[in-house]
Copies of this chain bind each other. A is one copy, B any other.
Amino acid sequence: MFSVTVRDHIMVAHSFTGEVFGPAQRLHGATFVVDAGFAGESLDADGIVVDIGLAAEQLRAVLADLTYRNLDDEPAFAGRNTTTEVLAREIADRLVARIEAGALGEGARDLGRVTVTLHESHIAWASYERAL
């Protein structure tokens, strides 16, 4: 199994609903350093699992719709907590939708798995991994 991972980041405001979140129920914010990994069983004729330039570009496009925003105001997340886990899944799903639409090239449709990790600080991170 091969995988290629690219890193980017978003800077967002949000608040959480639920006593479990303690002070994070208040409006606060986070830098999420985002690692998007693309895994497949084989390499193409060029010797790559995915075009890393396209991968970085598509990740940037997905993140552009999220960064420098108050996620509490985003219709896409209405009625949901934008926890690190939820954001990891959302970013993974949006990347998969782009892959399926051909944005990473024809070969990328054969990828087996996408993994998105969001680092919320130097001491905490969350991941979501899904098949294509």
Tell me the smallest distance from the CB of A73 to a CB of chain B, in Å: 8
Give the copy number: 6
| Interchain CB contact under 8 A, B122 and A122 | yes
Docked complex Cα distance between A129 and B89 (Å): 22
> Are A5 and B124 also in contact (CB < 8 A) when A21-B46, A28-B11, A28-B67 are?
yes
Are the CB atoms of A121 and B11 closer together than 8 Å? yes
Query: Which residues of chain A (63-119) have a CB below 8 Å from chain B?
Result: 67-70, 80-86, 88-89
Q: Which of A4, A28, A49, A122 is the most central at the interface, judged by chain B CB atoms within 10 Å of its CB? A: A28
B48 touches A20 (CB 8 A): yes
CB–CB A126/B13 < 8 A: no
A126 touches B49 (CB 8 A): yes
Chain B residue at minimum C-beta to C-beta distance from A8: B123
With a cutoff of 8 Å between Cβ atoms, the chain B residues found around residue A80 in the complex are: 47
Are B52 and A124 interface neighbours, CB within 8 A? yes
